Structure 1
Amino acid sequence: MKYFKSILILLLVFLGAQTFAQSRSELEKRKAQLNKDIEMTNNILNKTSKDKKVTLKQLNLLRAQIRLKEEKINTINSEIRLLDGQINDNVNQVRSLQAQLTQLKKDYAAMIRFAQKNQGSYSKLMYIFAAKDFNQAYKRMKYLQQFGEYRQKQAKYIEDTQNAIKNKLAQLNRNKLDKDHLLNDQEKEKNTLGTAQQKQAKAVSSLTSQEKKLKQDLAKKQRDAQKLDRAIKQAIAREIEIARKKAEEEARIAAAKAKAEGKEAPAAKTGSYLNATPEAAKLSADFVNNRGRLPWPVASGVVTQYAGREKYGVNVVVENTGWKLRTNAGGNIRAVFEGTVTLITDVAGSTTVLVRHGQYFTAYVNLATVSVSKNQKISTKQVIGTAGSDGDFEFHLYKSDNSLVEQDPKYWLAPN
């Protein structure tokens, strides 16, 4: 039982190290992505900082950078907590292994003493011949054989336990060094976060001082956004109307056929007209099944404005729909799911592509170029166009159940 416990401890040590490595790898991967996104915002801000006049784009980039830095600090904190847990586990495992090793050595020393007392061939033969019958003599002979094998196994357990302690102590030292590096990284990131927050406060103050002009600019952007929103809703309404007429025509034909055959007319279909066909219903179901796992509309980019209310200055509040993103200048914009292009339009100088996925729609706004055509079937991650020289574009997602409801992309797109 003691040696089964030794094996169990060694196994738990191995499994614990595997789980820790996997969790640490995921955090390191996320931190690498955050570093990449922070570097992108830095590069863009360095370019825009030449313009002394503070703009909304600069403020949104600063806010995006602050969000990224805060998330990086939280990720580092998660790594530190993970390392602290691993360090505590390692310390406990080393203590357990050392206690096990002490007991193994004690038992092994007792066996050695016993073996030394009975090490001569004469003593072993006398032990066997002293048996009262042949059966007992055979058992004594097997015992001596098994005793030798057992002693060898115990020596191997001691060696394995010593190696496990050595490896655990080395891992413990690595964990402590890693933690020191993370604490230094965390301190540096906190300092850069403070600098970014100061820049944001300065930008907000500058914009507040020109609040009248800011309101005028935002009012124009809102009007343009409303025009685009109307164009998208009209396009989706047309899709619904086409689907409704088609469904009603099919129902009329089916009812006429049933009447001619003396049968009862089939029940009217319920739900969205856009799901009237099996193909459309399947596409909608597949889209929903990928909720939270849809690829981003760009291979590399950051969100500068999320959906919801956002405050600029003291008295200026904007209600954002969809996401505003920033990617590399001229970067590819891609479809987040397979579907059919239903609209390509230009509203207030903003080129937009609308893609239908059953009863769901995605809109890609402010494209510099378009590489698809209306009614074209496209696949997931297919390039549909490119971003402009500033890399800004918008992404919107809608659900139509015979009425239109815009969705927040954060519940649909995969974590970046």
Structure 2
Amino acid sequence: MKFFRAALFLFFVFAASGVFAQSSAELKRRRDKLTEELEQLNREYQETASNKKVSLKQLNILKAQINLREEKITNINSEVRNLNNQISESNNTVHSLQNQLDQLKKEYAGMVLFAYRNQSAYNKLMFIFAAKDFNQAYRRLKYLQQFGTYRERQAGYIQGTQKDLHVKIVELDKDKKQKNDLLQSQEKEKEELGKAKNNQVKVIVDLSKHQGELKQQQRDVQKRIARNNKEIVNTIKREIEEARRKAEAEAREAARIAAAKAKAENREVVAPTKKAITKSSTNSEILNSTPEAAKLSNSFLGNKGRLPWPVATGQLVHGFGTYNDADGIRNDNAGYEIRTSTGAPVRSVFDGTVSRVQDIAGAYLVIISHGEYFTAYQNLKSVNVAVGQKVATKQTIGTVALDPSTGDATTIFTLSKGTTFVDPRLWLAPN
């Protein structure tokens, strides 16, 4: 029973280690990805730094570096926390295995001593013949036979426990070394973070010398974004009105056919079971007035939190909501501003139909409807879809253009339910 309890304890320890390993693997993958992105940003920053004229692109790269380094430090903290838990569990396991080994050795020593005292055949025979009856003599004979087998098994338990103890000690040493390496890496990241923040201050000071020009650039960017957002809302309104007219026309035609059929059969007209679209119908009712649209809306909603990003790789520059830029200009972001590589393909995040393709100030805007939901993709250099075309999830719809004010390859992704913009963070899968 003692061995069974010990084995059960070890089972739960190793099971917990499996969960830890999985979590650690995910954290390591994320850390490696952050390191790769930081190296890419560093190469781009070196390219921009060779230009004597400080630009918004340098500032944006520094911002992205700071965000990624802070995330990487947080990621390392999580890894260290996991390792601390694992080290604590390993220490407990080592102590438990050591106690178990000591107990097994003590019991085995007792058996060896007993076997030594009763090693002669004469003593064994005397032990058997001293029995009160035949049944007791038989049991004593079986006991002597099983005693040898049990002693061999006990020796096997000792060897197995020693092996488990050695493995656990090796794992413990490995975890301690890994923790030490992570702490050194964390200190290095903190040092680099400090440098990036200092560089950011210098760049902001240099940029302030050209504040008027930069503010005008920012205003131009915001005007273009506002124009795009207005176009998105107007497109959705047109979609709603078109869906309303179509639904009303279908309802009138259905009523006419029903009335004609009732008149021919000399009976009263039966009221339609389906709710008719009227002036008071909501946008959701109008956009989901057909079975196909309702099914697509439900499917889109069912993938909330799992939608792919509009670009395969990229960093979030600005999220949903209000923010102030380096020059103190207040901006309202209706979606995600994503920085990616030059010429990167932009893809649809879900199945749908292209509602709008518009060239605005030299950059394309593409709007895709997904039932009552709409996604929009701004600042595209080229497009390879047309209005009315069906698109699939992750299908390329165009390529990203360079932002004229910063020189960055950025796209703005918005998601709306009807005419109301919603936060993409709640819908997109973790990047």
TM-score by length of 2: 0.90
Report the counterpart of residue 398 of structure 1 in structure 2: 416
Report the counterpart of residue 95 of structure 1 in structure 2: 95
Is the Cα contact below 8 Å between 2:324 and 2:330 reproduced in 1? Answer: yes
Report the counterpart of residue 117 of structure 1 in structure 2: 117
Report the counterpart of residue 341 of structure 1 in structure 2: 354
1:229 correspondence with 2:229: yes
What whole-Å deviation, never above 9, does each CA across 1:138-169 have from its counterpart, x for those lacking one?
32233233322322222122111111111111
1:60 correspondence with 2:56: no
Is the Cα contact below 8 Å between 1:205 and 1:313 reproduced in 2? Answer: no
1:316 deviates by 2.1
Report the counterpart of residue 273 of structure 2 in structure 1: 266
Report the counterpart of residue 265 of structure 2 in structure 1: none
Report the counterpart of residue 366 of structure 1 in structure 2: 379
Report the counterpart of residue 17 of structure 1 in structure 2: 17
Matched residue of 2:59: which SS? helix
Matched residue of 2:122: which SS? helix
1:289 correspondence with 2:302: yes
Uncovered stretches (5+) of structure 2, i.e. residues with no partner? 263-267, 403-407
TM alignment of 1:10-409, pairs within 5 A: 10-259=10-259, 260-261=261-262, 262=268, 263-268=270-275, 271-313=284-326, 315-388=328-401, 390-400=408-418, 404-409=419-424
For residues 373 and 265 of structure 1, the distance between their equivalents in structure 2, rounded to whole angstroms, comes to 37
Q: For residue 203 of structure 1, what is the amino acid of its counterpart? A: V
Q: For residue 265 of structure 1, what is the amino acid of its counterpart? A: P
For residues 251 and 239 of structure 2, the distance between their equivalents in structure 1, rounded to whole angstroms, comes to 18
Is the Cα contact below 8 Å between 1:281 and 1:358 reproduced in 2? Answer: yes
Matched residue of 2:201: which SS? helix
1:336 deviates by 1.2
What whole-Å deviation, never above 9, does each CA across 1:154-185 have from its counterpart, x for those lacking one?
21221111111111111111111111111111
1:125 deviates by 3.3
For residues 32 and 173 of structure 1, the distance between their equivalents in structure 2, rounded to whole angstroms, comes to 23
Matched residue of 1:10: which SS? helix
- Percent pairwise identity: 48
RMSD: 2.0
Matched residue of 1:352: which SS? strand
TM-score by length of 1: 0.93
Residue range with higher mean Cα deviation, 259-268 or 2-11: 259-268
Aligned length: 413
Uncovered stretches (5+) of structure 1, i.e. residues with no partner? none
For residues 208 and 39 of structure 1, the distance between their equivalents in structure 2, rounded to whole angstroms, comes to 28
Is the Cα contact below 8 Å between 2:10 and 2:93 reproduced in 1? Answer: no
1:331 deviates by 1.4
